[in-house]
Amino acid sequence: MMIDDAAVRLEALGNPTRLKIYRSLVRAGHSGMAVGKLQASLDLAGSTLSHHLKALVIVGLVAQERQGTTLICRANYEMMRGLVDFLVAECCVDACECAPAEAARS
Amino acid sequence: MMIDDAAVRLEALGNPTRLKIYRSLVRAGHSGMAVGKLQASLDLAGSTLSHHLKALVIVGLVAQERQGTTLICRANYEMMRGLVDFLVAECCVDACECAPAEAARS
DNA sequence: ACGGTATTTCCAGAATTATGGAAATAATGT
DNA sequence: ACATTATTTCCATAATTCTGGAAATACCGT
């Protein structure tokens, strides 16, 4: 994952409301969760929720599928895994014990 | 890690400039990097860099230590690990599709 | 077509963030 | 004390984000 892609995804998750939305979707698992149910469970104005969901969808962290009048939202686990992998790679450039190549392990 | 703590750290990393700053510090390893060196390598106004560093320090992702007139900055690996653990935990609450790459079921 | 439910878009205001020049502070050496 | 280097704080401005009411759109059953 490119650094700017990572940044936009981190930014999307970096809002408390959006992080709660995302967490709800993760917890909902495979079957996902309808927008309306999210709205009830998180107690947000519909338009506010819609804006936040859009932000998550745009960066690929959430996918949506229409089922009649309701819109099912699902967490994109693979995208999250890519993000975590990016962070781990950044965090552990020097992997075990975090020692840079030139500064041997102490 | 509490969800709001995770959110503020994600937000801190969710700015492209700050993510690049953080990455530079991670790559600098445990010896860290002086503010001035960061400034030269990232080509930022001093005040801008100082603001971003402060944001990273406040959320605990970066630590600073004075050495004479220069200020050494270091990535806080443990904090990042806590953040990654949070994300993995959120991601794998239900289904384990976001587990470590090699463990993913097809 | 109509009525109802679900969701988004439009619009606007308030709040926050990003940026950087200029002045201030910090630390050191002479 | 003074000069020098390193960094921050003060200040302002432009840009972006967050929020939600109201209107619009989407979909379905009858």
Report CA(A68)–C1'(D30) in Å, whole number: 16
Measured distance CA(B53)–CA(B18) in Å, rounded: 8
Measured distance between the N- and C-terminal CA atoms of chain A, rounded to whole angstroms: 31
Q: What is the pLDDT of residues B2-16, one digit of tens each?
A: 999 999 999 999 999
Residue A1 has pLDDT above 70, yes or no: yes
Nearest to B30 among A78, A90, A103 (CB): A103
Closest CA to A25 of A56, A3, A50: A56
Q: Which amino acid is at B46?
A: G
Q: Which nucleotide is nearest to A50 (CA to C1')?
A: C8
Q: For residue A53, what pLDDT band results from cuts at 50, 70 and 90? A: very high
Question: Domain A3-98 belongs to what architecture?
Answer: Orthogonal Bundle (1.10)
pLDDT score recorded for residue A19: 98
- Mean predicted confidence (pLDDT) in B35-60: 98
Nearest to B93 among A26, A90, A91 (CB): A26
Q: Which amino acid is at B54?
A: K
Backbone angles phi, psi at A103, to 5 degrees: -100, 80
- Mean predicted confidence (pLDDT) in B47-69: 97
Choose the CATH number for B3-103 among 3.40.50.150, 1.10.10.10, 3.40.50.1970, 3.30.1360.120: 1.10.10.10
Measured distance CA(B84)–CA(B61) in Å, rounded: 12
Å between B103 CA and nearest CA of chain A: 12
Q: Any idea where the domains of chain A sit in the sequence?
A: 3-98
Which DSSP string do the residues of A49-76 spell out, in sequence order? HHHHHHHHHHTTSEEEEEETTEEEEEE-
Contact (CB<8Å) B87/A100 = no
| B19, A7 Cβ separation under 8 angstroms | yes
Q: Which nucleotide is nearest to B40 (CA to C1')?
A: D6
Mutate to test the interface with A, among B15, B79, B90 (most CBs of A within 10 A): B90
Measured distance CA(A16)–CA(A21) in Å, rounded: 9
Interface of A with B (CB under 8 A): 3-4, 6-16, 19-20, 22-23, 26-30, 75, 77-78, 80-81, 83-85, 87-88, 90-94, 98-100, 103
pLDDT score recorded for residue A8: 98
- Mean predicted confidence (pLDDT) in B78-99: 77
| B99, B89 Cβ separation under 8 angstroms | no
